[in-house]
Amino acid sequence: MAKPRNGGPRCRPYCGLVPFDSMFYSDETHEPAHIHVRSADGECKFWLEPVCLAGNRGVAAHRLREIERLVIEHEHFLTEKFHEYHRR
């Protein structure tokens, strides 16, 4: 398990979106399935059902397209892991 962000909820990292860091946060159990992805220039969030950009803080457009492609490619795996992590 990764360190809490800003003293807040814990997150679980996943390596399916290499070279980006991807994670689920434990305090987001009431939101639809989604994944947070960090790159060198920021962090974004994608809904998984269906795949759609939910938010972006600093990730360049060309990286967002690359991340979106990876999220779509791994959508079923990420959705399954989201539900396992939040025990749904």
40, amino acid identity: A
Domain that holds residue 43: 5-85
Give me the number of domains the chain comprises.
1
The predicted pLDDT at position 42 comes to 95
Q: Is the pLDDT of residue 11 over 60?
A: no
Closest CA to 53 of 40, 72, 28: 72
The predicted pLDDT at position 79 comes to 93
Q: Is the pLDDT of residue 8 over 90?
A: no
* pLDDT one-digit tens code per residue, 26-77: 888 789 999 999 999 999 999 999 999 999 999 999 999 999 999 999 999 9
Q: Kindly report the number of other CB atoms within 10 A of residue 81's CB atom.
A: 19
Name the band, by pLDDT with cuts 50, 70 and 90, for residue 1: very low
